């Protein structure tokens, strides 16, 4: 029994050593870390320069205080930041894998007793771990700053649900990024992809620009991207607390209140959009995203195995 336990510990030690090595390599590369946050910086720049006033709900000056309006705007903005973050962080960390293959450092691992599957698995695990850690840190800091700035703190049930969603989103995003990275052969090509991919996801998923102002074909295209639904579900988790601040009694009629809420939810990208116009429940879409992630991981493993053999 003891020998089996020691054997398992040795196997896990070699895997975690590879994972630790990949994470440390990523964090030491300040340029890679910077470009991982580039899309988040772009979104913050767009918000401060162009979108801040547009995101503020119109006609609410007599209904909400300035702090309540700010809380609502931040509740709409933060989910998009976290989704972009869950895309750019694993992609940046996977630069280590590109370096290992292009400069054949992978050959050095293969002559050691470390199994091939552990080398492949270490790239995924390191990306997943660093994405979860940074995303949860950003979530906590964002919610804390939002509370300090407005005096309204996110309720604990919302925080914990957001926490779980971020872990699940990190799994989906990392699987997709690993699959995409298997087709990139050089460091230069990887740098080009890493520099623009987060921005493409931001526009294509309705994070940078609300989908309701875009053409119908863009909405249908966005409905095929997992990141769109990830953003919507996180908004459906965070925004209800802000919407509760709107008192129906302050409206001239209940019809006026309902019309305002419908317009606000559309403008904030709160409503589910289904897939290609089909009304598919969000939990089904999330299950499909999870299944897709597992399939992409299996394909990525197969492709990397072939690449190692070559």
**What's the token pair of residue 80?**
């998009």
DSSP one-letter string for 169-223: HHHHHHHHHHHHHTT--SHHHHHHHHHHHHHHHHHHTTSSS-GGGS-HHHHHHHT
Q: Which two tokens stand for residue 269?
A: 């990208």
pLDDT for 310 beyond 80: no
Please report whether residue 228 resides in a domain: yes
Q: Which residues pair with 275 in a beta bridge?
A: 278
Q: How confident is the model at residue 5 (pLDDT cuts 50, 70, 90)?
A: very low
Look at residues 131, 136, 107 and name the one whose alpha carbon lies nearest to residue 119.
107
Residue 54 has pLDDT above 70, yes or no: no
Max CA separation in the chain (angstroms): 76
DSSP-based helix, strand, coil % in the chain, nearest 5? 80, 0, 20
Residue 258 scores a pLDDT above 50: yes
| CA-to-CA separations, 261 to 127, 155, 188, 207, 247, in angstroms, rounded | 39, 21, 47, 20, 11
> Which DSSP symbol is given to 56?
S
Question: Is residue 117 domain-resident?
Answer: yes
Mean pLDDT (whole number) for 151-166? 92
Q: Within 10 Å of residue 93's Cβ, how many Cβ atoms?
A: 29
Place of tokens 């006033």: 53
Q: Is residue 129 part of a domain?
A: yes
Q: How many CB atoms lie within 10 A of CB 241?
A: 17
Domain with 113 in it: 34-47+63-309
User: In the predicted model, what is the mean pLDDT of residues 253-270?
Assistant: 84
As a whole number, mean pLDDT of residues 29-39 equals 68
Residue 28 lies in a domain: no
Q: Is the dihedral of CA 214, 215, 220, 221 positive or negative?
A: negative
On the question of pLDDT at 12 being above 70, the answer is no
The pLDDT confidence band at residue 44, using thresholds 50, 70 and 90, is: low
Residue 57 included in any domain: no
Rounded to the nearest 5 degrees, what angle is found at the Cα of 289, between the Cα atoms of 158 and 89?
70
- Determine, yes or no, domain membership for 138: yes
Question: Tell me: the pLDDT tens digits for 188-199?
Answer: 777 777 767 777
The pLDDT tens digits for 168-220 are 999 999 999 888 888 887 777 777 777 677 778 878 887 777 777 777 888 88
- For 270-307, the pLDDT digits (tens) are 888 888 888 889 899 999 999 999 999 889 888 888 77
Asked whether the beta carbons of 155 and 241 are under 8 A apart, the reply is yes
Q: What is the pTM of this model?
A: 0.86
Residue 73 lies in a domain: yes
Quote the number of domains for the chain: 1
Q: Do the beta carbons of residue 207 and residue 185 sit within 8 Å?
A: no
Each residue's pLDDT tens digit, 79-112: 888 888 888 888 877 878 888 777 777 766 666 6
Report yes or no on 15 lying in a domain.
no
């Amino acid at each position: 029994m003891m020998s089996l336990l020691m054997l398992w510990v040795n196997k896990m030690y070699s895997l975690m050593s590879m994972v630790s090595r990949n994470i440390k390599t990523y964090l030491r590369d300040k340029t890679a870390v910077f470009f991982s946050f580039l899309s988040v910086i772009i979104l913050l720049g767009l918000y401060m320069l162009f979108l801040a006033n547009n995101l503020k709900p119109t006609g609410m000056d007599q209904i909400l205080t300035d702090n309540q309006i700010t809380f609502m705007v931040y509740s709409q903005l933060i989910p998009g930041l976290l989704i972009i973050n869950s895309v750019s962080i694993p992609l940046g960390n996977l630069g280590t894998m590109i370096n290992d293959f292009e400069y054949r450092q992978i050959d050095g691992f293969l002559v050691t007793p470390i199994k091939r599957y552990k080398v492949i698995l270490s790239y995924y695990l390191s990306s997943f771990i660093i994405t979860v850690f940074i995303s949860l840190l950003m979530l906590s800091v964002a919610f804390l700053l939002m509370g300090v700035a407005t005096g309204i703190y996110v309720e604990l049930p919302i925080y914990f649900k957001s926490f779980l969603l971020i872990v699940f989103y990190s799994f989906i995003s990392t699987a997709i990024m690993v699959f995409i990275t298997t087709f990139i052969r050089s460091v230069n090509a990887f740098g080009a992809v890493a520099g623009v991919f987060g921005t493409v996801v931001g526009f294509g998923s309705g994070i940078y620009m609300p989908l309701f102002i875009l053409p119908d074909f863009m909405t249908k295209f966005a409905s095929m991207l997992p990141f769109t639904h990830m953003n919507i579900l996180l908004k459906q988790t965070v925004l209800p607390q802000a919407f509760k601040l709107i008192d129906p009694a302050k409206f001239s009629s209940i019809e006026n209140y309902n019309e305002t809420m419908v317009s606000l939810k559309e403008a904030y990208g709160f409503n589910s959009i289904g897939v290609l116009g089909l009304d598919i429940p969000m939990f089904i879409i999330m299950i499909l995203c999870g299944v897709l992630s597992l399939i992409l991981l299996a394909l990525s493993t197969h492709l990397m195995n072939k690449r190692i053999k070559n």
